[in-house]
Amino acid sequence: MRQLKPQALERRRIDILGLLVDELTLDEAVARIEEWIKQRRETPTTPARRVVTLNPEYVMAARRDPELQRIVNSADMTTPDGIGLILAGRILRHPFRGRVTGVALSHALAQRSAQTGVRFFLLGAGPGIAEEAALRFTQLYPGISIVGVFDGKAGPEGDAESLARIRAAQPDLVLVAYGMVKQDRWALRNIEESGATVAIGVGGVLDYVSGRISLAPPLLRRLGLEWAYRLYKEPWRWRRQVALLGFVWAVACQSTINLKNFLYQKFRAAR
């Protein structure tokens, strides 16, 4: 993985239907997170950070919930996870340079851990899944530092026990796998109190790493069709895919509005 200089990490964000999404590559995301961890180690009073991995379903949920929109837009990094966001960027004439999924980001940071000494804590998923994911990570990336695992509870009632375990383990990075929305509410409540530097909401990443759920074949991932493979494997998810239709319609409407505004400005300038 190509290493980037800190001065190359200026933040740029793209507005997708009111949600501000970082315009960055996977390498840049990893470099920024590693820089945060370095800063915190040198200056313990440096604020903790939150990373949101955003997909179209999440965008539509946040458009209906102002509080959730604030949680996303106040995050220190919001990555374009779903292929729908990449396509929306193109349609809205603000293209992303890359897609940064929770799966790719987790693997990239795990791979770097042996060199950087970044300490991981795996939080969430179902009973036993975090342990299985930790074992698989150590097989894939010898030297990775996983200092703790715990399934815990996503709601406030589970915070005390989760925080006690995380503080005792002293990780730099917490991968929070409670699913969309719940994991980011957890991070907002707890990352500063946990003593860790960064919390990343990773959704089903631990299920994938553990092998409980299979990843889509490489070709489908390259084409951005993971959602179709997941729907094939788990047909009960069809209701969640309805949000994609709403997202497509909303992007199309926003594109039309943008075009009308552009033509109006051109008309006024020509008068």
How many residues are recorded in the chain?
271
Cα 185 to Cα 15, 49, 77, 220, distances in angstroms: 21, 13, 15, 31
Q: Do 203 and 53 form a contact (C-beta atoms < 8 A)?
A: yes
pLDDT tens digits, one per residue of 129-150: 999 999 999 999 999 999 999 9
pLDDT at 113 over 50: yes
Element (H, E) at 16: strand 13-16
Q: What is the pLDDT of residues 215-235, one digit of tens each?
A: 666 666 665 656 555 655 565
Burial class (CB in 10 A: 0-12, 13-18, 19+), 5: exposed
- 26 has a pLDDT exceeding 60: yes
Mean pLDDT value across residues 243-250: 78
Per-residue pLDDT, 7 = 47
Q: Report, as an integer, the average pLDDT of 248-255.
A: 84
So what's the pLDDT on residue 263? Answer: 58
Query: Is the sign of the CA dihedral 124, 16, 37, 108 positive or negative?
Result: positive
| DSSP letters spanning 54-75 | E-HHHHHHHHH-HHHHHHHHTS
- Coil, strand or helix at 25: coil
Percent of the chain with pLDDT over 70: 80
pTM of the model: 0.85
